[in-house]
Chain A
């Protein structure tokens, strides 16, 4: 839900949802501006769930945003100053009560924005593209609010329209935004993440059953550990993001919708077994993924090479991980052996039962 506040001459008006707001001197306008330099029908605000814009209606003296005359249409953001003739209108844009500040990132699952709560605190808002998602999906997500650990991003609440959730904001970006890292730093980050996983894998957490009932379960597997999901706070602490999201997608039958371009990103840090077996969601999968993250932090590459134009799933199926010392010969042998061993999967697993 988008709310637009328009403050003209001390009086504020709020418009919500899909709306088109006509501004001008004419009495029939939604917002009448009594100013001789304002045309009868001056400009129009277009309020949509995903954007707010102003369109000049060919007014004689034009419309400006933040002092810049607009040519046709321009998108509006919170705090913009709209000028019609000699009249100034201040624009406030909030979504679900949050003031959206800027985009933090964009991925296959949706967009993340930095936002401010009414109380002034900063939060991250993730808007999800999940066509056909039901209430069950939201309830599934809400369960992750039970996770309380210094190395796990706090889940605040879910949003219905548009679908998404509000979570703790980590100012330091993600592990993927930096690096490669030195051995010490990489191990330190990995240890923090491992602590988070260890906690989550055994934490008490509500489980939503298909019939809608809830029970208390034990342990939550992340299923999508990758450098992009390992966030950093301003002071450099690591927090694991998007816990429970992959499960919620799976539960709702929405997985497998990864756009083909993003497959490489999502399978590079997945154990082969998880790529093959859709239901495979044991703590080992997260541990393999975290090892792969460590591999990445040290070398800047995932354990396997994904040549452009090759099917990434086929790469995972056919190619074993590259021994880490081949990428980074200076790595201490013991650590390298440990990493390689952790990434080794038994390909010829016995058939089911």
Chain B
């Protein structure tokens, strides 16, 4: 375990110095070969002290950067041992400097001040160092002093005694050491030890053996009177901070040198995303997952496209099963597209590493080669490419001749056996290329392999049971006829074979032995899952309603001793009711049970019950969790019940941790496009790979937690002074930008923001993005700086279907309709539910009114609900003469027009509730209405397809007009009120609002069967967008003049227009969203993450907040940051 000088650890750290004993264990000096930075690595000596070491390391990691503390870069486990990586300080310790006598008087005062600052930083962070002494002060060659070894530091709020060094003990530490349990340590303890340290430094020698005697011992030391007075006051007055002491020392320095003390008071450097991400990794290594996640969120908030954070956080959540591999990749691709990563090739390296872990080898190869070309020194790229080279080519392959029905795989996926529907038996050896047909025959019912994967048992529907030499691809000669058998198993050592029958009988043969099989009787129905232990002495069997058969099984799992033929244990499901006979109801049709090939475990997903792991040898339940398994047709259990493969019926396959019920890997997105469904699957006997089969496709995937794991990305540490300098210039630029903004000098603000953005680590700082946002109303929208997801939510079980949502114009609140009839308000900035309105009818359409104080909800029941978000009040409008079918609001959002089934139109003030007007507009149910933005003029459409324009107090409509299809048709006024837009299926017609004559028309190819219409408007409705074949047209609503034409890769289905019409957000039938510049026709960014087609895209009035909802209920909120050009 100890490192030797010259050794290179992890291909990354060269050990450059002998190990030395230090306060926290052994200290090594290492050089990070890529960063060319020296680090001090501290390793605990004994495994027994790991936990304490990790706790200590955690305290230190949390301290953050300060110029006068040694910075802890990160903590990471190497070879299972936690190691602290800290800044390397070159000049040795103060203890050595004192011994060598190389400090002058002014230098001593300087060190006293700097160390006081360092301790003050710990105190400001609520920590007491507890072990201040010359050995824990490191000196840079330039004279900078840094306090180190926060190993004993404890939260000042706890104040518990953790140890320390007796010669520097404060009286309270000494009392605690002597056994006084009432002692609480405060910062005053550090002041005491610091004073001893300073006295020792000034005297040039250790002057007391017992820190608590320092007050008396100070009298034995020869010191200048001022210094003596200062230190004596520390012991006499017990100050609990350094404030006054630092001032006194500064004047001492002035008196001594005749010059002012040169160092400015330092301040802690705020960690940028780099540091936060490192800190998060450390906390993750220390098992403090929640805190780690919080820091990553902070890092991503600080810089949404910060590559290491996006990568590490994505990887972490992927491995935890909360996001899919595809989401990680899309997040990384977005971050990479946003650019600005200073390290060459890092984007490609990180993406390539993820793809490699996903077993997307082709893509991984491309990316890794790119990374290696960009940075040939990258050890990680080299290591990943080496791993890539070991991968068998073609980890998925075409299965000739049909649908894969059953399969089995040997260890590591060396050979995969599978049978297709027609009965063809195939072997796929990825190292040798495409699958090979071995034999034809009756349909194969079941397959099994032994522990080496070189011997296979093949059971066909006609009852023939044969053994095969897998490597040679030939039958072994051993065969039996077992008509009615439904399942087969081989012992791990390949000496026994077992068959389970439809009748419940199990037969076990010793291969090569004479005589008949051992027969196990006990099951009364079809054996659906069967396994033989390694030596063939035990059988584990299950009889359940399979996923593919009609039979129900007898509902038991049985564990057998083959020697005696005895059933040693029986396991049944939990009682979930009582049968008519009075017996407990323990067996449901939907129960799913599978046994592991080593016959050790069975896992049951009980219908209406838990997911349970049963240890057959102990006949005991060893894990229980909840599950949502219901329709899966493929189940396979890894040895040791380490993973449960659950696949089908569609293109989905997951690995679950059966003990926790958690999904640890979803393969769905990583499966080849051609694989339309998962219909067969197997886990290798060593549990390292899973094989999946579907129509014409077979796939091998690594089990999570096995094989290659993409390494964490540690960001290069930056020193506190470096961060300070940048932070200071940044703060200065932002302050000047603020002043400029207040003075209305917007062009200057834009320049300052551009300058601030250039600083390393600040390109997407929240302040810069805020600045641009404030500038947006004062200039022209220019380039898109960043687009990132601020949060996502799964509304599958909550939202109405189809989803309804309305983003308030300021982008701060989002209203969503729930299937329960509730309307939930989401605080977009805080990512939380801000309120919930009591259930009414299910929402059909939601709009904001009255300047964002009121929500208008039209329900499928035909009521209008007015929800007041300031007091939570709900007013319900029901149609007086039938259900309400449509509504519109005026420009100010103060008046509402609605139409009823009876054909009546009503206009009403929203604040006053006064009914302004009602008219019997048609004899038929109204299906759409439009209200003149400023006047009480209104258009309506009825179920006969007639559009009518009405004014108050008239008996006849101004005009009428027919449309061929009334369904899905909507009406809109242009903002200048001159035009009414009739938005029909496939056609958008602009008619003269005064006379009803057609002025222009656009063919639109919008989606059918949705209720959102085929047109998108800017908030002021001056511009509209309609879809065409692979095009989006942007035109003026008053004239119909086409302003822009976007060429798109697919037909636009859902889209939104940016407030000034400069950009459009477009989704086609796939689940990606594109942001397009209308003027240039360029795609600015592709946003990924949705798992289903989009249904809602809404933007706020500034075009900086966006909400998208897919048809599956997936909701995502995005932030778009724009640069602004100011003239």
A interface, CB within 8 angstroms of B: 131-132, 253, 255-258, 260, 263-264, 267, 275-280, 308-314, 316-317, 349, 351-353
Contact = CB atoms under 8 A, between A and B. Distances in A.
Nearest to A307: B178
Interface stretch (B204-212, B454-462, B555-563): B204-212
A308 B216 contact: no
A314 B177 contact: no
Contacts of B21: 131-132
Contacts of A275: 209-210, 213
A83 to B, nearest CB: 35
Contact of A308 (B179, B206, B207): B179
B89 interface: no
Interface in B476-531: none
Contacts of A260: 166, 174, 177-178
A279 B208 CA distance: 8
Interface stretch (B219-227, B351-359, B1110-1118): B219-227
A276 B178 contact: no
B25 to A, nearest CB: 14
B222 A278 contact: no
Given A256-B209, A278-B208, A278-B217, A311 B175 contact: yes
Contacts of B171: 311, 314
B174 A317 contact: no
Contacts of B220: 276-277, 279-280, 352
Minimum-distance CB pairs A-B, first 9: A260-B177, A311-B174, A256-B167, A313-B210, A309-B179, A276-B216, A277-B220, A311-B178, A256-B209
B45 to A, nearest CB: 12
Given A276-B216, A278-B208, A310 B166 contact: no
Interface in B146-196: 165-167, 171, 174-175, 177-180
Given A311-B212, A313-B212, A314-B174, A351 B219 contact: yes
B166 A317 contact: no
Contacts of A351: 219
A263 B166 contact: yes
Contacts of A131: 21
B221 A352 contact: yes
B216 A256 contact: no
Given A257-B166, A263-B178, A314-B175, 14 more contacts: A256-B165, A256-B206, A263-B166, A276-B213, A277-B208, A277-B217, A278-B208, A279-B205, A279-B207, A310-B175, A310-B180, A311-B174, A313-B213, A316-B213
A260 B207 CA distance: 19
B136 to A, nearest CB: 15
A310 B178 contact: yes
B208 to A, nearest CB: 5
A276 B177 CA distance: 18
A278 B218 CA distance: 11
A278 B213 CA distance: 10
13 contacts: A132-B21, A260-B166, A260-B174, A275-B209, A276-B220, A278-B206, A279-B220, A310-B180, A311-B174, A311-B212, A313-B212, A349-B219, A352-B221
Interface size class of B (residues with CB under 8 A): 20 to 34
A103 B206 CA distance: 35
B1120 to A, nearest CB: 62
Given A131-B21, A258-B166, A313-B213, A276 B180 contact: no
Contacts of A312: 178
A217 to B, nearest CB: 20
A317 B171 CA distance: 11
A352 B206 CA distance: 16
A265 to B, nearest CB: 12
Given A276-B217, A309-B180, A310-B178, A352 B167 contact: no
A256 B179 contact: no
A211 to B, nearest CB: 14
Nearest to A266: B209
Given A263-B166, A352-B220, A311 B177 contact: yes
A308 B179 CA distance: 8
Contacts of A316: 213
Which among B21, B174, B210, B212 has the highest number of chain A CB atoms within 10 Å? B210
B213 A317 contact: yes
A256 B171 CA distance: 16
Contacts of B178: 260, 263-264, 309-312
A257 B21 CA distance: 15
B166 A256 contact: yes
Given A308-B179, A313-B174, A278 B207 contact: yes
B115 to A, nearest CB: 20
Nearest to B206: A278
B222 A352 contact: yes
B766 to A, nearest CB: 50
Contacts of A132: 21
B218 to A, nearest CB: 9
Contacts of A309: 178-180
B209 A255 contact: yes
Contacts of B174: 260, 311, 313-314
A90 to B, nearest CB: 36
A313 to B, nearest CB: 4
A353 B222 contact: yes
B1093 to A, nearest CB: 66
Nearest to A253: B206
Contacts of A279: 205, 207, 220
Which among A131, A253, A280, A313 has the highest number of chain B CB atoms within 10 Å? A313
Contacts of B206: 253, 256, 278
A308 to B, nearest CB: 6
B216 A317 contact: yes
A263 B210 contact: yes
Contacts of A352: 219-222
A351 B222 CA distance: 9
A260 B174 CA distance: 8
A303 to B, nearest CB: 17
Nearest to A257: B166
Contacts of A353: 222
Contacts of A317: 212-213, 216
A275 to B, nearest CB: 6
A312 B207 CA distance: 19
B83 to A, nearest CB: 22
Contacts of A280: 220
A264 B165 CA distance: 16
B655 to A, nearest CB: 39
A168 B212 CA distance: 37
B233 to A, nearest CB: 16
Contacts of B175: 310-311, 314
Contacts of B205: 279
Contacts of A276: 208, 213, 216-217, 219-220
Nearest to B205: A279
A352 B179 CA distance: 34
Nearest to B223: A352
A136 to B, nearest CB: 14
A264 B213 CA distance: 14
A311 B176 CA distance: 8
A264 to B, nearest CB: 8
A267 B210 CA distance: 10
A352 to B, nearest CB: 5
A310 B177 CA distance: 9
A277 B21 CA distance: 29
A316 B209 CA distance: 13
Nearest to A132: B21
Which among B205, B212, B216 has the highest number of chain A CB atoms within 10 Å? B216
Contacts of B213: 275-276, 313, 316-317
B180 to A, nearest CB: 5
Nearest to B216: A276
Nearest to A349: B219
A131 B26 CA distance: 14
Nearest to B99: A253
A234 to B, nearest CB: 36
A280 to B, nearest CB: 8
